[in-house]
A and B are shown apart, each in its own frame.
Chain A
Amino acid sequence: MYMLEIRNLHASIDGKPILKGLNLSVKAGEVHAIMGPNGSGKSTLASIIAGNEAYEITEGDVLFQGISLLDLQPHERAAAGVFLAFQYPVEIPGVSMMNFMKSAINEIRAQKGQEPIEASAFLKLVREKQALVELDAKLANRSVNQGFSGGEKKRNEVFQMAMLDPKLAVLDETDSGLDIDALRIVAQGVNALRNSQNSFLVITHYQRLLDYIVPDVVHVLANGKIIKTGSKDLALELEAKGYDWILETDQA
């Protein structure tokens, strides 16, 4: 059974088709990278996996460990173990980071029929995961993402991922906006969480990230479809040659 299996996915927004028959299968323990030109539908795919209702699924299915995600609300997907690190993390004034994280953990626990986390255990977890991604502890006292720098926002996404320990994590351009050191730290964070039971879908424009988070498979998404799949060497080839050569082959 696959961790994630996407079958012939067609999706549109405001009547405009974005995904046009996308297929993708990811096994437990694997890291897949998705690359592709701007506007090709990468974030759309990520949003659909997480359950954004703005997109209309017109055909196909998204299976997570054999069950269709399309019947689940976003919070149910999170409880099942799906996580999305947003390309553009949302600022939420007035909701403190700590209140937010605690609500998230407790709501997920409640959905699994578990008691709320104890205050001391929560704090311990926060400290441990802050250390993992070297997130400034002061940020925890602020409102969610409010006034965070671009890099801090991305680090905060990885911090949240570490807190929630998902089975399937989709990282949407988590590397963009990070400086060299931050990139290494974030990648180390991801690598520390990698194991044979979980999977990662890493969306990126840069091969550099894939030097740190080494993928098992690299896909190219263009025009709403996966048009090429290869090993990590494909990323190097894309870096050197751009997308045109595959787009041409695709059309041929």
Chain B
Amino acid sequence: MENSNPVLDFVGPAGITRHWTGLGAGLPNRKQEEWKYVPVEALMEHLYPKPEQPLSLNQRPCPDGLPTEIRYLTVSQALSQAIPGIEQALNAIQTANLDGMAHRFKQAIGSQAMVLWVPKAFSANAPISLAPAIQTNGQTTDALLILLQAGAEIDLILPEEAKSSRFSFTYVGLEASAKLNLHRDLSGSDSVFAMSHIEAQLAESAQLNLVQWLQGAAAQRHSIQVNLAGAKSLAWISSLQFAQANNQVHSYVNMVHQSPEAESHQNIRQLALNSGVSSFTGKIHVALDAQKTQAYQHSAAMVLEVGGRTYHRPVLEIYADDVKCSHGATTGSLDEQALFYLQARGISKPAARRLLIEAFIEECLHEFHDSLQQKVRTDLIQSLP
């Protein structure tokens, strides 16, 4: 019997079959080079059919102690109160080329999605943590619009519910010089399916620093599209991915440089244990007039046990001529000589492995908020063989 929530039909036997078909086909995504001329939409429709009934969303509860200047309300409320920026955000979502799964949110967003709105020049002095959406049928489906007015600055932590399958859509709208640090904990227990899409729009000199920790889950697929629409905007994406036995952990980034002098960094670290699979597909698109772009991508993977697999798929599409772009990918295993060196100094093999693994992820991990860093270290230490 298939699940009644149409958007979550990747859960349940039929949905799982469809999902694996999708994975087997290389996770089609229009933004990927190899799928450029394939009618991916049709394929995705087949994998993830359009809902017949409107999608119903779960909501993240309002966090305690939210500064009074920050508003947390539904899209309908935001519309009726004419919150600045809401119209543009909804427009951007409706016109965005969202891929197979994310496009289903278009219908539902108009009313039930939640909006986190930060006024002009407001700067929160403590990080805001938005608890996971409340689940129904052991699943959560949520949509969140994060709107920062000009010059606003916040740190936002999005922990996820580890025990349920989830599907989420996040829109990030950053006005001029706004600055968002977004920390996502996407760890999940082994039976979970998790998919998400982030669509981010950056105005002039806006800054997005997005870090994510992907661990566990039967399958996770997270896509991020960043539109560097304003000149001198800046985006940093750090993704730390850990595939244990039977986990499928996949992330996609599409970094679109639309304006001059913007800068982007994609910094990925992948770890795979026996029969775990992790992949990263990262695209850098530089439009014709996005001169003086700086775009960098670095993905490094470490296979910790025989049978683990990791993939990097860099895609560069560059139309401007005065740009600095680079990408690099490395895959390796733990350095046996370094392990022996550490052991010879009294450090046990498991502790030596831990030191080397922490060193490997450090460059990515130090971008994470302290509380999340602590959690990542604990999660990792508990899961290492």
Chain A residues within CB distance 8 Å of chain B: 50-54, 73-75, 77-79, 83-84, 86, 89-95, 99-100, 103-105, 107-108, 111, 143-144, 160, 164
A33 to B12, CA, bound (A): 71
Assess the B362–A89 pair: CB atoms within 8 A.
no
* List of A residues within 8 angstroms of B362 by Cβ: 94
Partner of B340 from A74, A79, A100, A103 at Cβ < 8 Å: A74
Assess the A100–B355 pair: CB atoms within 8 A.
yes
Among A74, A103, A143, the most chain B Cβ lie within 10 Å of the Cβ of A74
Assess the B345–A164 pair: CB atoms within 8 A.
yes
State the majority secondary structure of interface residues on B.
helix
Assess the A50–B344 pair: CB atoms within 8 A.
yes
Report the stretch among B76-84, B118-126, B150-158, B346-354 that lies at the interface.
B346-354
A132 to chain B, nearest CB (A): 18
A53 to B348, CA, bound (A): 14
List 17 contacting pairs A-B, 8 Å CB cutoff, sorted by A: A73-B349, A75-B345, A75-B348, A75-B352, A90-B335, A90-B337, A92-B335, A92-B356, A93-B359, A99-B355, A100-B345, A103-B347, A103-B355, A104-B342, A104-B346, A107-B346, A107-B348
Assess the B355–A74 pair: CB atoms within 8 A.
no
B359 to chain A, nearest CB (A): 3
Question: Using a CB-CB cutoff of 8 Å, which residues 347-374 of chain B contact chain A?
Answer: 347-349, 351-352, 355-356, 358-360, 362-363
**Is B343 close to A, CB under 8 A?**
yes
A92 to B346, CA, bound (A): 16
Assess the B344–A84 pair: CB atoms within 8 A.
yes
A144 to chain B, nearest CB (A): 8
**Is B341 close to A, CB under 8 A?**
yes
Q: Which residue of B lies closest to A90 (CB)?
A: B341
* List of A residues within 8 angstroms of B343 by Cβ: 51, 73-75, 78
Assess the B360–A94 pair: CB atoms within 8 A.
yes
Q: Which residue of A lies closest to B350 (CB)?
A: A75
Assess the A95–B345 pair: CB atoms within 8 A.
no
Q: A86-B341, A90-B338 are in contact. Are A95 and B359 (CB under 8 A)?
A: yes
Assess the A107–B351 pair: CB atoms within 8 A.
yes
* List of B residues within 8 angstroms of A75 by Cβ: 343-349, 352
Q: Which residue of B lies closest to A80 (CB)?
A: B346
* List of A residues within 8 angstroms of B363 by Cβ: 94
* List of A residues within 8 angstroms of B342 by Cβ: 92, 95, 100, 103-104
Assess the A78–B349 pair: CB atoms within 8 A.
no
A77 to B346, CA, bound (A): 7
Assess the A79–B346 pair: CB atoms within 8 A.
yes
Assess the A78–B338 pair: CB atoms within 8 A.
no
B25 to chain A, nearest CB (A): 37
Partner of A108 from B337, B338, B346, B358 at Cβ < 8 Å: B346
B336 to chain A, nearest CB (A): 8
Q: A86-B341, A90-B341, A92-B338 are in contact. Are A73 and B348 (CB under 8 A)?
A: yes
Q: Which residue of A lies closest to B359 (CB)?
A: A94
A54 to B216, CA, bound (A): 33
Q: Which residue of B lies closest to A50 (CB)?
A: B344
Q: A74-B340, A75-B346, A111-B346 are in contact. Are A103 and B356 (CB under 8 A)?
A: no
